[in-house]
Copies of this chain bind each other. A is one copy, B any other.
Amino acid sequence: MKTINNSCTVSDKEHCGCFEKLTEEQKELIEKNQVEIKFKKGENICKQGTFAANVMFVCSGLAKIYVEGPSGFLILKIIPSGNFIGLSSLFEGNTIFQYSAVAYQDSYLRLIDISVFRKLLSINAEFATQIINILSENSIQTYGRFFCLTQKQSYGKLADTLLCLSDRVYKKREFDLLLSRRDLAELTNMATESLIRMLKKFKEDKLIKIDGKKIKITNYDKLKLISETG
């Protein structure tokens, strides 16, 4: 199995499989203790420091989760549909959201009562095992992004971000980027001005084509190389 050392934290599989490990009765319990909510583009899904009353599941849309500090913030990961938000609040000693989440675009989320979720974990070992899988996978991906953002320099980080968007998010070599330059810079953890300069450099080097919000990966292998060599 490959070692992940890029900044992409988008899972290549959906996480809803875990619900299949529930009995009919347990599924019903979840049904009864969840709500489906629409979040508009830019809206806060959860806010770091507030009481975590639920675990959230992204049914459709795209979100970012990030930690805030006294000066600045860091995007931990982006969450496309089919993934959970807030699993780290399952930790019994922790009833507070450790990060904020914001919708990149209009998104539908299912909010599941956290105490019901915890209850199910404590009585259904197979379900718990699935959640452990998700948490473990999540750790590994976070390590990859962590490594990337601390060890690579900006061209490597940007190459990573572009590949992630192409491979995991849009699943196309050419896509309409719904993120602004500023969003892209945040995601790559660099200044917006620097991002623009480097995007321009990639364009000049014929690695990508840019037409406003439309981006096309024209030299995937070279981009991959840049991502790997930092």
Please list the residues of chain A having a beta carbon within 8 angstroms of any beta carbon in chain B: 1, 3-5, 48-49, 67, 69-74, 76, 87-96, 98-99, 118, 121-129, 131-133, 135-140, 142-147, 149-151, 189, 228-230
Name the residue of chain B whose CB is nearest to the CB of A127: B125
Contacts of A121 in B (CB 8 A): 125, 128-129, 132
- Given the known interface contacts A94-B137, A124-B125, A125-B125, the answer about A228 and B132 at a Cβ–Cβ threshold of 8 Å is no
- Given the known interface contacts A96-B3, A124-B125, A125-B125, the answer about A90 and B147 at a Cβ–Cβ threshold of 8 Å is no
CB distance from A155 to the nearest CB of B (A): 13
In the complex, the answer to whether A150 meets B150 with C-beta atoms within 8 Å is yes
In the complex, the answer to whether B146 meets A142 with C-beta atoms within 8 Å is yes
Residue among A1, A99, A151 with the most chain B CB within 10 A? A151
Residue in contact with A229 in the complex, picked from B71, B150, B189, CB distance below 8 Å = B71
Contacts of A3 in B (CB 8 A): 48-49, 67, 96, 98
- Shortest beta-carbon contacts, A-B, top 7: A91-B136, A128-B128, A125-B125, A135-B135, A88-B139, A88-B136, A98-B140
In the complex, the answer to whether A137 meets B5 with C-beta atoms within 8 Å is no
In the complex, the answer to whether B142 meets A98 with C-beta atoms within 8 Å is no
CA distance A133 to B94 in the complex (A): 9
CA distance A76 to B89 in the complex (A): 21
Residue in contact with A230 in the complex, picked from B71, B93, B132, B230, CB distance below 8 Å = B71
- Given the known interface contacts A1-B94, A137-B93, the answer about A76 and B125 at a Cβ–Cβ threshold of 8 Å is no
In the complex, the answer to whether B140 meets A94 with C-beta atoms within 8 Å is yes
Contacts of A144 in B (CB 8 A): 67
In the complex, the answer to whether A143 meets B98 with C-beta atoms within 8 Å is yes
Contacts of A139 in B (CB 8 A): 88, 135, 138-139, 142
